[in-house]
Amino acid sequence: MPSIAIITGSASGIGLAIARRLARDGATVALLDLNTEALQPIAAELGGHAYSVDLTDYQAVEVVIARVVAQFGRVDVLVNSAGITGLTQTPTHLMPLDNVRQVFEINFWGALHTTRAVLPTMLQQNYGRILHIASIAGKEGNPGMLGYSASKAAVIGMAKAQGKEYANTGITVNALAPAVIMTPLVEALPEAQVTYMTDRIPMHRCGTLDEVANTVAFIVSPENSFTTGFCYDLSGGRATY
């Protein structure tokens, strides 16, 4: 029986790469994003289903998750990939507080909203795989990126707490902390800036979208049944703890 997988932020970047990989593995993918226009052709390509939702609105998230459950009868996988960077190159004393709040609303609260909404279904079926996409910034902190670093640290802490909370239920909850991944956004950066970032990575290169998707495919698979509350490394050796 194919799994039912919800992927947030699936209109582009890492979320899209994950959706494509899980669909290729036979999953029925429910694609959640605010960008409805971009979602429709992706849903058609993957034979999936598109749902437009503001992840910061818990009631709206509950409605969408209920629609997915009503349509498919269950949810096996949730990947929380939606996120924003917020302001960069801005020290704390100059960082607008509203910007930090906005980053937390999407990166942390958005992931909490979808997780909270999907857990009753997973508990009823005694099975589930939840993965929060965090960041190396959540482990090490990136200067000038207070909101992003702190929100991703919160996401890692959430995975650790939830992993323990549901350890005896058949549900695993983990996080994944990528370093810089080669996306169109990174490809557009000046070569010197990319070199600065990759010089901190022992492999001296960016990760690829395929490498992210391949790792995610294992983490959310039935075979990965004895790891929960863990933050997986995807940093080319930069932060292996």
Active site residues: 148
Residue 44 CB contacts under 8 Å (≥ 6 apart), including other chains:
none
Distance CA 54, CA 32 (A): 9
Q: What are the backbone angles phi and psi of residue 15, rounded to the nearest 5°?
A: -60, -40
Distance CA 241, CA 237 (A): 10
Q: What's the Rg (C-alpha) of the chain?
A: 17
The CB density around residue 99, as the number of other CB atoms within 10 Å, is: 16
Residue 205 CB contacts under 8 Å (≥ 6 apart), including other chains:
198, 236
Query: Which amino acid appears at position 171 of this protein?
Result: I
Look up residue 148 and give its two tokens: 């992003």
Helix (H) or strand (E) holding 58: helix 58-72
